[in-house]
Amino acid sequence: MLTIAFSELVQIFRNRLVLVTSLVIPVAVSAFFVSRHEVFAELGGLGYIAAVVVFTVAAFGLYTTTVTTLASRRQNLFLKRLRSTAASDAGILSGLLLPITVITLVQVTAILAVFAGVTGTPANVPLLVAAVAATVVMMLGLGLATAGLTNSPEHAQVTTLPISIGTIAVASWVGLTGTEELTLLKRLLPGGAATELVGNAWDGGVAVPDSLVLLAPTLGWVVVAVALASRFFRWEPRR
């Protein structure tokens, strides 16, 4: 797995398009939110800004790169090549996705650290870690599922839009309006419960057991995504 991961890391840093979409754009958008935190905090609170940062990096960095990478590697038969070796399917996928996952975690950690430095530390760091981890796993799962429906890297520009835009929209909706109304709907939408959890972890004021329950919908989306991925994911291009 590490052999593939190292090779993938090299490829990410050599491909300018991936480098820009997975590194530069999420950081730039997050930097905007952090720099204008006083404006956005008035609208939805600091927790809202933290949630939007997490979903911006997870959607534009992790999710989009996952789909694009897998579609590209399948299209040029690199996946088939890797499957010609002794590497297992799980090892191949893990190796391909490990670098962008680590990059995402480093980005989120760094941006939130800067945000905390500017606005003050979050109320519950372990809960924030759990929320970020659940979000990352959910976006990875959705990335695998979407990759199954994506024929090429060019096609990925279209197929990734609903979930990447959708999750950020859900995060903004939940962050700005709270979950007092339409509670169930907001929590069941992908990213809704995770946004509320990030907000609770950052702002505090909610009992930890009540917040932990919010992990369930996010993990539920992981199960759905993995089920879809196992149904739709392909290792070779359609003939």
Smallest gap from Cβ 76 to other proteins, in A, equals 7
Contact (CB, 8 A) for 131 and 194: yes
Distances in whole angstroms, Cα of residue 82 to Cα of each of 8, 12, 70, 138, 153: 12, 17, 12, 25, 19
Phi, psi of 194 (to 5 degrees): -65, -40
| Cβ 17 to other proteins shortest distance, Å | 11
Asked if 123 and 201 count as a contact pair (C-beta separation under 8 A), the reply is yes
Q: Does 3 bind other proteins (CB under 8 A)?
A: yes
| 4 contacts other proteins (rule: CB under 8 A) | yes
Please, what is the minimum distance in Å from the beta carbon of residue 15 to other proteins? 6
Q: Which of 32, 36, 43, 76 binds other proteins (CB under 8 A)?
A: 76
DSSP letters for 83-130: HTSS--HHHHHHHHHHHHHHHHHHHHHHHHHHHHHHH---S-HHHHHH
Q: Which of 10, 28, 43, 216 binds other proteins (CB under 8 A)?
A: 10
Which of 102, 73, 77 has the alpha carbon at shortest distance from 2?
102
Q: Work out how close the CB of 21 gets to other proteins at its nearest, in angstroms, rounded to a whole number.
A: 15
Tokens of 51: 């949630």
CB of 81 to other proteins, least distance (A): 4
Which of residues 83, 129, 155, 224 is near other proteins by CB under 8 A? 83
**In terms of Cα–Cα distance, which of 34, 25, 30, 35 is closest to 54?**
30
| 38 in Cβ contact with 151 (< 8 Å) | no
Q: CB atoms < 10 A from the CB of 128, how many?
A: 24
Quick check: 187 binds other proteins (CB under 8 A)? no
Please answer whether residues 69 and 8 qualify as being in contact, where contact means their C-beta atoms are separated by less than 8 angstroms: yes
Q: Is 234 in the site for other proteins (CB under 8 A)?
A: no
Identify the residue among 80, 117, 118, 223 touching other proteins (CB under 8 A).
80
Q: Which of 35, 88, 121, 177 is close enough to bind other proteins by CB under 8 A?
A: 88
73 binds other proteins (CB under 8 A): yes
Of 25, 31, 77, 182, which one interacts with other proteins (CB under 8 A)? 77
Q: How far apart are CA 73 and CA 85, in angstroms?
A: 15
**Residue 10 or 165 having the CB closest to other proteins:** 10
Of 91 and 220, which has the nearer Cβ to other proteins?
Answer: 91
Q: Does 11 bind other proteins (CB under 8 A)?
A: yes
Is the Cβ of residue 16 or residue 38 nearer to other proteins in the bound state? 16
Binding residues vs other proteins (CB under 8 A): 3-4, 7, 10-11, 14-15, 73, 76-78, 80-88, 236
